[in-house]
Each structure stands twice: as C-alpha cells, then as structure tokens.
C-alpha cells in the first residue's frame, strides 16, 4: 500500500490526513513510525507468543540496549506513569494491587514540585497516588521540598521536559532529599529524547524509574512507552500491568507493539544523531530562507542542545507586526487543505515548525502555507 492508498484508508471514513509540523505530538498522530517498525509489527501479528514471556524478554533486551538495570514496555509514557505510581504504592503485593486505584491505608503520597506540575500527572492518581505539591508556581526551594515529605510519602516525581528544571530544585538535590526520606525518585522524561545521551544521564543521576515515549522521537509504535529502572520496581510495575488483571489491565500493550518498540529502540540508538540533526537543520534553513524576508516577523533556526535537540524553526512576531495573530494563523492553517499544524513554542507571539515528521514534500507544503497565512490580511 503506498502513501496515497494509506491516506485513502482514512478518507474512506471521512478523516482528512494532515501535515504535522508540530513534532511528535500525540494529537497530531505522534512520531512517524519507522518502516522497519511497521514491518516488525506486521510480522509479530502472525505468531502467537506467551505475553509473560514476551514482557520479560523484551524488558531484558531493552535493558541491555539502554544500560538500565531493568525495563518494561508500558502503554505509552502515560501508562508508564501509572505503573510508576502503582509499583511504588502497591509493589507486587496482591492484596494491594487488587485494591488500586484505592490506596487508602497505604503509603500513597507522591511529592511533586508545583512548578513542575504537568498535564499528565493524573496518571499518577490512576496508579493510586495522592499528589503533594512542594513550593509554588514560581519555583521551589529546598526547604519547601523538605516540607512536602511525610510518613505517607511513597515516591517523589520529577519532570524532565523543555525548560522544566528552570525554577525547580535541581535533580541531584531532589534525589538527595528523596533518598534521605527513603523513597524512590520517579521521572517523566517522555519527550526528552533526543539527545540519546539523556537515557544514561537520567539513570546515572540516580532516577529509580524513568519513562520515555516509544511513539515520539524513538519512532516506535504510537501506543508504546519505555519504562526503565531498578529491577525490583520494574518487577512490581510488570506485576501491576496487563495481561495481569490489576490496575493497568486497561492499558494493554499488544505483542505487536512490544516487538515494534524493541525494533524501534535498536534503530534509534544506532542512528547517527549528528547526521540526523544536520538533515533537520538543512530542512529548517530551507524554511528560514523562504520566510525570513516577510516584514514584521523574525524567523530563525533554534537548536537547544539541552532541552530539545531537534532543530526547529521559530517564527516570532515583532512589535510592529500588523498581520494575523498567532491564533488566526493557526486557524488559517488548520482549515486549509491539507490542514497544517505547527509547533507551539510557549509564548503568544511565537510559533514553530518542527521538521521531525516532515519530508521534502510536506515541508514544501508547510512553507507555502505558512507564507500565505503570514501574508494574508487579518480579519
């Protein structure tokens, strides 16, 4: 089936394919699966295997590739957060596992810095967690973090995402505080790849468990997540997960996704990161060159090697910008044919083009449509 036929599959039920210049965002279809992953998924579907065996062996294979003590394939990174909480609260104790998400009477508090609150933390509650926030929206001090721990603390959660550590207690100190209270540090780093080095960096810094998305830059199956960490905690996570009928049974990961993810991680780790970035940078420069002379906006390539390694085009509206607003541009692009979606950069007067999910053709479409939108008359 070629790309046109694939698109027709969606059209046959009335769904228009889109151009995703937003990066590996789930709502726009996530990361583009690797061709080899699609093949592995199709092949795995033909052969039955025992899921307990597969879960265990896939975990061993991923641990060996990443250097983690142990690993488990979760249902997305979000499913991995549920398992992090369940593992820290119920462990592998059957009576407790059966009671989740009701964790009353168990140590169930998860300390999180308020300035690191993110939209996925409900997953911790699904796993039985009761969130205890440290500090304020503006930041967190060591003393405020200390105050959040109690006799009921089960774990301390840290977020690694673009700029998420800025006003937060630094990870080393955070881990030290958790250690002194005898609780594990659980990390969400779902979208913190590349750089590939982040896998080792976070484990070496002492995270007890960390989760990455399998369906973002790793380009594995959209529904898969990579949970890494301490062997005892990973064993507990596995005990709470499908195909066992405990809290994460509704977050099933299929044998096809598991095999697809193993293939994806191997390919991801083997990729030449610099060559890949050079290619992305070349795509970005093409967009910059085509948009840079539009008056009133500044267009540049950004490449933040710490927070988000993939080069991105940033379009910023200056003081004298009289064209359509960011929201108007978004709707013009979303309502056109094909619909085009750009990457938010955080502010109301800036918007980005992420090359990750684009090829030469869709990059051209994006450039043309963004140009038209920028030059259109505001309504």
Give phi and psi for 77, each to the nearest 5.
-65, -35
Provide the mask over 223-252, with x wherever binding to ligand PLP is found by CB under 6 A and - wherever it is not. Answer: --x---------------------------
Judged by CB under 6 A, the residue of 71, 134, 168, 190 near ligand PLP is 190
> Which candidate, 187, 124, 129, 200, places its Cα nearest to that of 158?
187
Adjacent-strand bridge partners of 340: 19
Task: Pick the closer one to ligand PLP by CB: 210 or 291.
Answer: 210
What is the CA angle 58-267-302, rounded to 5?
A: 125
For tokens 């840290």, the residue is: 158
> Which candidate, 359, 364, 355, 372, places its Cα nearest to that of 302?
355
- Nearest approach in angstroms of CB 173 to ligand PLP is 21
Judged by CB under 6 A, the residue of 109, 133, 188, 208 near ligand PLP is 188
Task: Pick the closer one to ligand PLP by CB: 59 or 215.
Answer: 215
Task: Pick the closer one to ligand PLP by CB: 218 or 290.
Answer: 218
Interface segment toward ligand PLP; rule CB under 6 A; list 74-82, 178-186, 197-205, 282-290 = 74-82
DSSP state of 358: -
- Nearest approach in angstroms of CB 295 to ligand PLP is 35
Adjacent-strand bridge partners of 343: 352
Task: Pick the closer one to ligand PLP by CB: 44 or 193.
Answer: 193
> Which candidate, 312, 78, 113, 39, places its Cα nearest to that of 194?
312
Residue 279 CA to chain centroid, in angstroms?
A: 22
208 scored as a contact of ligand PLP (CB under 6 A):
no
Between CA 84 and CA 82 the distance in angstroms is: 5
135 scored as a contact of ligand PLP (CB under 6 A):
no
User: Can you give the three-state secondary structure of 233-246, one letter per residue?
Assistant: HHHHHHHHECCCCC
- Nearest approach in angstroms of CB 119 to ligand PLP is 8
Size of the site for ligand PLP (CB under 6 A): 13
267 scored as a contact of ligand PLP (CB under 6 A):
no
- Nearest approach in angstroms of CB 34 to ligand PLP is 16
On whether the CB atoms of residues 135 and 173 are closer than 8 A, the answer is: no
126 scored as a contact of ligand PLP (CB under 6 A):
no
For tokens 């896939």, the residue is: 58
Task: Pick the closer one to ligand PLP by CB: 215 or 311.
Answer: 215
Which positions lie near ligand PLP, rule CB under 6 A?
Answer: 26, 76-78, 118, 120, 161, 188, 190-191, 213, 215, 225
């Amino acid at each position: 089936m070629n790309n046109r036929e694939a698109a027709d599959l969606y059209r046959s039920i009335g769904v228009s394919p889109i151009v995703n210049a937003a990066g590996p965002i789930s709502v726009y279809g996530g990361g583009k699966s690797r061709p080899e992953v699609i093949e592995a998924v199709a092949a795995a579907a033909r052969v039955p295997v025992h899921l307990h065996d597969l879960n265990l062996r896939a975990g061993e294979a991923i641990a060996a590739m990443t250097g983690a003590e142990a690993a488990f394939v979760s249902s997305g990174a979000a499913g991995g957060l549920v398992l992090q909480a369940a593992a820290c609260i119920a462990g592998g104790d059957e009576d407790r596992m059966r009671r989740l998400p009701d964790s009353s009477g168990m140590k169930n508090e998860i300390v999180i810095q308020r300035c690191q609150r993110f939209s996925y933390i409900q997953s911790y509650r699904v796993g039985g967690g009761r969130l205890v926030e440290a500090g304020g929206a503006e930041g967190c001090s060591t003393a405020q973090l200390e105050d959040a721990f109690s006799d009921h603390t089960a774990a301390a959660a840290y977020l690694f995402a673009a700029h998420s550590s800025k006003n937060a207690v630094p990870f080393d100190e955070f881990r030290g505080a958790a250690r002194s209270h005898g609780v594990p540090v659980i990390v969400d780093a779902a979208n913190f790849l590349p750089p590939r080095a982040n896998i080792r960096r976070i484990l070496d810094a002492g995270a007890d468990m960390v989760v990455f998305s399998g369906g973002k830059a790793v380009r594995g199956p959209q529904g898969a997540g990579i949970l890494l960490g301490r062997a005892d905690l990973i064993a507990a996570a596995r005990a709470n997960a499908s195909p066992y009928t405990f809290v994460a049974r509704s977050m099933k990961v299929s044998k096809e996704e598991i095999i697809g993810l193993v293939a994806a991680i191997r390919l991801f780790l083997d990729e030449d990161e610099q060559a890949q970035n050079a290619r992305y940078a070349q795509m970005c420069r093409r967009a910059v060159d085509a948009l840079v002379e539009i008056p009133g906006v500044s267009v540049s390539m950004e490449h933040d090697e710490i927070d988000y390694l993939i080069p991105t085009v940033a379009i910023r509206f200056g003081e004298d910008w009289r064209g359509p607003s960011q929201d108007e541009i978004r709707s013009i692009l979303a309502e056109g044919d094909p619909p085009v979606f750009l990457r938010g950069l955080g502010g109301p007067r800036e918007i980005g083009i992420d090359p990750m999910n684009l090829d030469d053709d869709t990059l051209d479409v994006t450039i043309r449509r963004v140009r038209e939108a920028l030059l259109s008359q505001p309504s």
